Amino acid sequence: MSAALIEDTKHILDKLVAFPTISHDSNLAMVDYMADFLGQLGARVFLQHNEDGRKANLFATLGPNKDGGVVLSGHSDVVPVEGQDWSSDPFQMFESNGRLYGRGTCDMKGFLACCLATSRGAAELNLARPLHFAFTYDEEVGCFGAQALVRELARRQIKPAAALIGEPTMMQVIEGHKGCYEYTTNFTGLEGHGSQPDLGVNAIQYAARFITHLLGLSESLKGQAMVGSRFDPPWATIQVGRIFGGAGRNIIAGNCSVEWEMRPVQPSDSALVKQSLDTFINQQLLPEMKTVSPSAAIETIVVGEVEGLQVVAQSEARDIVYEITGANGADVVAFGTEAGLFQEAGISAIICGPGSIEQAHKPNEFVEIDQLKSCLKMLSRLQTKLM
C-alpha cells in the first residue's frame, strides 16, 4: 500500500468530515464535491434530489456501459452532535495515535474517502465490468435515499450484479442483518377537566395500554426465534423509544404519540405483530374510545420499513469479497443497513467496511488508519477483479 494513497485518503476524509451533513441538514455541498471528483475522472454521474431539493443521492459509473459489475455503496449523512461531549470540533478532523477523529470518520465517511481515493486508479484501468458508486442521503433516519435510488436504478435499467456496502464492520464480512421498521402511533382522545375523567378520552392511558400490548408481543417473539439463529438476540425485537402527549396533570390528555421500532428476523415476525396490533386496536381500544367520543382515533404512521439482509446459500457479492479480502467466513449483525434494499431489488449484497460500529454515533468518533489501509487494499483488489 503506497504512502501516497493513504495520504490522499486522509486528505479526502478531512474534506468530507468538514461537510456537516447531519440528516436534518442539506448534503448538497458534499455531494457536489464528490460528483465533481468522480466527474473529472471521466465517470458517468447523475444526481437524484429529494422532494424539496435540499438533498441528493449520487450515482456514478466507471468502465463499460453494460449490465453487471459492482456497486460501492455508502451514506453521506451523519448523526447529530448536540448534547455530546466532544473534546474537539467534530467537523474538523484530526489525527492522534493512529486514529482519525471527527463526526463520520467511522460511520461512514472513511469508506467514502477510500472509494474516492481508489477511484483515481480505477479510472486508469481498462475495466471489463462497470464499477459503480452509490452515495445516499438520509440513511440514519430511515434509509430514504437508498429507497429512492434503487427505484431510480430500475427506472434507468441499470443492473449491477453485486453491491458492497461499506458500513463499519472492522473489515469483517457481514452477510445478514435484521430489518428495521420504525413507526409513530398517534392517539386522539377527548380533553376535559381532570376531575371528571369518565367524560373524556385519555389518549395517554390508551397509549399506555398500546405499549403494554407491544411489550407482550416483544415477549412472545422470543418464542418465535428460528432454531440456530445467529443473531444476538436471536429473536425479533420491539422497542419503545419515545412517548409524549397531554397538556397538564389536571387535564384529560387529548393526544399522545408513541415512537417505536421493530427489528424482524424474518417476514413472519412483522406479519404477526401487525396482525395482533390491528386486532387489538380495532376490536378493543377504538370501540372503547368511540363510545365516549366518535371522533377518537388511532393512527400509525410508517416512518420507514427497511428490509433485513437475508442470508442466502449462493451470493455473488459474498464470493467477491471473500476473494478480495481472503476471508473464509461471514457473520450477521443486529444493526440495520441499506444492504437489504439492494438485495430486495435483485442485487446480491454484502457488508464490509472500515471502523467499528462501537465508535459510531458517539462523541470523539474515530477510525483507525490501519482499518482504512485494509479497506484500500480490498478496493484496489476489486478493481483488478473487474478488469
Which residues form the catalytic set?
A: 77, 139
Cell of residue 77, nine digits: 449523512
Question: CA-to-CA distance for 91 and 384, rounded, in angstroms?
Answer: 34
Cell of residue 124, nine digits: 486508469
Q: Cα 31 from chain centroid?
A: 18
Q: Cα 64 from chain centroid?
A: 29
Q: Cα 14 from chain centroid?
A: 23
Q: How many CB atoms lie within 10 A of CB 371?
A: 25
Strand partners for 177: 309, 333
Give yes or no for a contact between 129 and 104, defined as CB atoms under 8 angstroms apart: no
> If we measure between CA atoms, which residue out of 66, 298, 308, 324 comes closest to residue 187?
298
Strand order in 237-245's β-sheet?
A: 237-245, 255-263, 180-188, 297-306
Backbone conformation region of residue 305, classed left if phi is above 0, alpha if psi is from -120 to 50, else beta:
beta
